[in-house]
Chain A
């Protein structure tokens, strides 16, 4: 044991000295190893900081009390996780308001003597400069000691009477501010009367959890009988246990309990619905993380490999001497190379984690400005960081593995004789590589046929990449043979690269892996966009717009007219019932849900112009049919007969029970073949709707807005809490273009990194040859030409390989991605992006290297 350690000690000493001597190379490897460590450490620290662990921020949720008990309107029963914000389910059906005695009975078995503060939490309408808008309103007794910590006043004070109100910054920015009057409009749900109140704003508050929603706080009664509010009770006294929580759940309350969150009971106490979900979610997240980690590991190993290869070769002479004279065993030779990996890996792990913590410390305030949540206190998750640091060490060891193995197999005689480079490549590894690649392809194909095959496909991607990595040495040798037809710099670079495969292959593999990833993701994105494009169903006729949540129609139309005076408005009604349409003579009901007007059945006496895809020549016929009491619908599939039976399948909104199906009889059916493949919507006349007793709702549509007018209108309507959607046809998601660009950029950076590494190392290795060329009279620009040739060889070979490999997972993932029901799968290849990556990036890389390569050739200096 001690001898083993002594051997390692010597190896570590040699490695430390070698690291200090080869500063540039060591710095390069260190940087490569550190990048992912820093990135993940930063992310981990920020996540830990932002993960306002329940027990840290309890004051923000329960103030100074023991628990916050909330009942949503109409809820009879709740199931929840320990923290209801992480997930909870509700059953509705309550008809009366919950009361404190009810809660107290469930909690303590009777009235008890807990201190309790009641809250009401709901929505009101407030006036702003542009019109009415919504805001969250909380009524509570702000003098209560239990509330301390829930809200923080930044200016002024809490409302003391129901005439006063405290608002948060978000509300003050859009409307009246401190000292002014807030106009509150509420509608009593029972009497349906509107009441308007004017409250004086006496303070600005910061909700300690959410920043962007508008908030108004007042005393009980300040907002009147406002709509659909949540009842809440902040309780003190004895700790509220999980059993207490469960009992409260049974009366419809979701509970945030200080004691439960501080010391959660075991997972087996969770309601079973959550336990299952937990596993699945965890599995998914874990698998994704594992895949990402694997890809990053592969990239780092491949990028750092060449540096270790060169280091091992520089030490080769020492190792050969050790072996020839000192009888050092192959294991010891291996150890020396691995020792340098240990030295660099440990350093990278430690430095990287420390740097990550530092970056996170700087970034937290910046991110806090942008995000909508407050971060918690700065927290460093040491165990996670330990794992991340370990990752640095592992990647270093893996990168040094092959060079170490080769070092141990060297023939000392050859090394001491000064023969540089390697001889023939073995045939075993490429064969295995082909097999592995084949397995990867098989997995990909299997993944396309399986439900939830995405994981399989992702795994297949990694397997394909691994297979490709094993093939690279053979490819590099092949390239070395191909270049005999090229100019001198290319010939030299290509053959030299092939002779030093240990150094070249990992770099080429890194480039190939990068390109494969870029290509695969590019194909996936483009195919996805193709699917979106092909299956796009317009919601309205082109140019028509729909206003969402119009609320105050006058205000809305006035606002829109401000920016677009010629806008035309119409109201279209739809029926909200769930109707089934059985064409007489057909076995199954037709599915006529469409995107138009939220899928409802349109109730109109003539086909509205806003219906997309309705051919003009059939309009008159359709109108006539409507008047005659028929059912008009757009569909390409011909009907078996001209009559349709309509059935309503509805349920009681109060009790949630299914009602008996209601039959509405047979009616004439007019099927119109629309433009495009859209099915639906169904249009019936107002009289038919009346006959059937359907409830209708009205939608405000607007026509005639130009693009810029629509943008302006949208902005202004936001203040009124209304939205505007104008149908302009399929719009390619801007984010896809950005995503492609980012992908290309990332790929370019990685390719550049890998190529620069390989070229720099190659040039350093080729110093003697460059000196010879200089002695024989090479013009000064030769070095630059050779550097460029190296760059081209590495990047072009890698790019071409990567494209071929990337197509496999790219195609495979497009299948489940774009397959939905009957449509798809769609497979589209972003040729432009691939061309840019395969040809453009190598050219760019070569240009960068050509521009930055030194031109001075090394001279042969002799001392006789």
Chain B
């Protein structure tokens, strides 16, 4: 399932520093990271290790202090705001830790949001949204508002929004937090299926059971990659991938 094609996501020597002077926080220190098509990578580490920062940088929501972030061969730093927005709504799917659903829109409208923002006609967008909702098992709740759903349902809507259409890069920040183990498994199954279909997935989680669904598990601590566990480590050596 892992191919040697060009990686969908690539971080090279990325450093991210928040704040200045005495209050400086080094969220990431010159890390390298790769996610290839068909690959699901899990990122684990204690809080403060930089997991969420990594994800934010990968999704173009944040810019690195130094280093480059490349998505589908395009360096994010070279894009202007408009182009980055376009990338976010067509190629990248992001599952936020606190769902970030818009209360004023129904579930279907929330899921259709990136598609509709891209200018696709409402009817088409709505159809794609329903398909994504069906994948997470929430078809009946398509016309409900987030206020009228449980936390677990909201989380699944957020996941549907991240996978609607055919996104090539899916970034998930603790997507199973509010879910029971069976539903969480379903979600991981869904992510796995998407990756098998060719997308690249990055999954931040602290649950080893869920990280185990990934092809590679990367360990972060204090902004540095300290270890990696994967089934095809040899492939990485052969492809000459260099990290750090």
In the complex they form, do A and B come into direct contact, defined as C-beta atoms under 8 angstroms apart? yes
Interface residues of A (CB under 8 A from B): 419-421, 423, 487-488, 491-492, 495-496, 499, 768-769, 771-780, 782, 856, 859-864
* Contact A776–B103 (Cβ < 8 Å): no
Known contacts A863-B27, A864-B27, A864-B50; A776 and B61 CB within 8 A of each other: no
* Contact B102–A864 (Cβ < 8 Å): no
The answer, among B96, B117, B122, B147, for a CB contact under 8 Å with A773, is B117
CB contacts (< 8 Å) of B103 on chain A: these are 420-421, 499, 769
Does B243 belong to the interface (CB within 8 Å)?
no
CB contacts (< 8 Å) of A776 on chain B: these are 88-89, 94, 113-114, 117, 161
A sample of 10 cross-chain residue pairs with beta-carbon separation below 8 angstroms, ordered by A number, consists of: A421-B103, A491-B105, A495-B105, A775-B61, A775-B100, A777-B85, A777-B86, A780-B85, A863-B27, A863-B53
CB contacts (< 8 Å) of B161 on chain A: these are 776
* Contact A492–B105 (Cβ < 8 Å): yes
With A and B bound together, what is the CA distance between A815 and B80 in angstroms?
Answer: 64
Identity of the chain B residue whose Cβ is nearest the Cβ of A779 in the assembled complex = B85
With A and B bound together, what is the CA distance between A491 and B117 in angstroms?
Answer: 13
* Contact B117–A864 (Cβ < 8 Å): no
Known contacts A774-B85, A776-B88; A863 and B117 CB within 8 A of each other: no
CB contacts (< 8 Å) of A487 on chain B: these are 122
* Contact B88–A777 (Cβ < 8 Å): yes
* Contact A773–B113 (Cβ < 8 Å): yes
With A and B bound together, what is the CA distance between A858 and B100 in angstroms?
Answer: 14
* Contact A775–B88 (Cβ < 8 Å): yes
Task: Mark out the residues of chain B between 100 and 138 whose CB falls within 8 Å of any chain A CB in the assembled complex.
Answer: 100-105, 109, 113-114, 116-118, 122
Known contacts A862-B53, A864-B51; A778 and B94 CB within 8 A of each other: no
* Contact A769–B102 (Cβ < 8 Å): yes
Query: What 3 pairs between A and B have smallest CB-CB spacing?
Result: A777-B89, A777-B88, A495-B104
With A and B bound together, what is the CA distance between A487 and B109 in angstroms?
Answer: 11
With A and B bound together, what is the CA distance between A433 and B89 in angstroms?
Answer: 45
CB contacts (< 8 Å) of A419 on chain B: these are 147
Extra inter-chain contacts (7) besides given A777-B92, A779-B85, A860-B56, CB under 8 Å = A487-B122, A488-B117, A491-B104, A491-B105, A775-B59, A775-B96, A778-B85
With A and B bound together, what is the CA distance between A862 and B16 in angstroms?
Answer: 11
With A and B bound together, what is the CA distance between A495 and B143 in angstroms?
Answer: 14
Chain B, 21-37, contact with A by CB distance < 8 Å: what is the 0/1 string? 00001010000000000
With A and B bound together, what is the CA distance between A771 and B96 in angstroms?
Answer: 12
With A and B bound together, what is the CA distance between A487 and B121 in angstroms?
Answer: 9
Interface residues of B (CB under 8 A from A): 18, 25, 27, 47-53, 56, 59, 61-62, 81-82, 85-90, 92, 94, 96, 100-105, 109, 113-114, 116-118, 122, 147, 161
Identity of the chain A residue whose Cβ is nearest the Cβ of B98 in the assembled complex = A418
The answer, among B49, B53, B56, B116, for a CB contact under 8 Å with A488, is B116
With A and B bound together, what is the CA distance between A496 and B147 in angstroms?
Answer: 13
A771 CB → nearest B CB, Å: 8
With A and B bound together, what is the CA distance between A864 and B204 in angstroms?
Answer: 12
The answer, among B96, B100, B102, B114, for a CB contact under 8 Å with A777, is B114
With A and B bound together, what is the CA distance between A487 and B105 in angstroms?
Answer: 12
The answer, among A775, A782, A860, A864, for a CB contact under 8 Å with B49, is A864
With A and B bound together, what is the CA distance between A492 and B117 in angstroms?
Answer: 12
* Contact A492–B62 (Cβ < 8 Å): no
The answer, among A769, A777, A860, A862, for a CB contact under 8 Å with B104, is A769
* Contact B85–A496 (Cβ < 8 Å): no
CB contacts (< 8 Å) of A492 on chain B: these are 102, 104-105
Identity of the chain B residue whose Cβ is nearest the Cβ of A483 in the assembled complex = B104
CB contacts (< 8 Å) of B102 on chain A: these are 492, 769, 772-773
CB contacts (< 8 Å) of B49 on chain A: these are 864
A557 CB → nearest B CB, Å: 79
A58 CB → nearest B CB, Å: 70
